[in-house]
Amino acid sequence: MPDSSRCDGSHFSVDCPSRLLFDQVADKWSMMIMTVLSGGGTRFNELKRRLEGVSQKSLSMTLKRLERNGIIARTVVASTPPGVLYEMTPLGLTLLPPFQAIYLWANDNMDAVEAARMSYDRMRGVD
């Protein structure tokens, strides 16, 4: 029977706390939101405009998850109409270097990834 308390980088037990955290901060919308917010505080509608294809529901849910985990802060702005400003917290800012490294890797290797995809699809007869 596996040890359910193991969480050492080579084994992730079901109750490993990092599994949930990875799920909540390393998905595509979270990473894109943090990238946008790295430039400074941003209102909800501006985030939605800058994240083409995100639904209002997905954006709201992702922002709540990030806020709950201490990655972003939400501030109500007294204006007419009232607005909400989202920004990175000090803890969230510590995630930017690894995410920026992944982003740069993706940009630098996109041609190789695309070639691998085409080769894979060709070998399996996928059009």
Domain assignment present for residue 111? The answer is no
Mean per-residue pLDDT over the chain, rounded: 89
Domain assignment present for residue 4? The answer is no
* Rounded-to-10 torsion of CA 62, 64, 65, 67: 120
Domain assignment present for residue 112? The answer is no
pLDDT mean over 21-41: 90
Question: Does the pLDDT value for residue 20 go beyond 90?
Answer: no
70-116 pLDDT per residue, tens: 999 999 988 888 889 999 999 999 999 998 898 899 999 999 999 99
Least confident of 26-30, 39-43, 44-48, 111-115: 26-30
- pLDDT number for residue 6: 67
* φ and ψ at residue 21, rounded to 5 degrees: -65, -45
- pLDDT number for residue 26: 85
Domain assignment present for residue 5? The answer is no
Rounded Cα gap, residues 6 and 21, in angstroms: 16
pLDDT mean over 10-37: 85
Question: Does the pLDDT value for residue 2 go beyond 70?
Answer: no
pTM for the predicted model, two decimal places: 0.81
Query: What is the residue range of 51's domain?
Result: 17-94
Domain assignment present for residue 106? The answer is no
Q: What is the CATH number of the domain that holds 86?
A: 1.10.10.10
Domain assignment present for residue 45? The answer is yes
**Bridge-partner residues for 43, per DSSP?**
85
Residue 53, classed as helix, strand or coil, is coil
Domain assignment present for residue 118? The answer is no
Residue pair 70/91 in contact by the 8 Å Cβ criterion: yes
Domain assignment present for residue 83? The answer is yes
Total domains in the fold of the chain: 1
Question: Does the pLDDT value for residue 1 go beyond 50?
Answer: no
Rounded Cα gap, residues 105 and 68, in angstroms: 28
Of the pLDDT bands very low, low, confident and very high (cuts 50, 70, 90), residue 11 is confident
Q: Which of 48, 30, 15, 47 is nearest to 99 (CA)?
A: 30
Residue type, 7: C
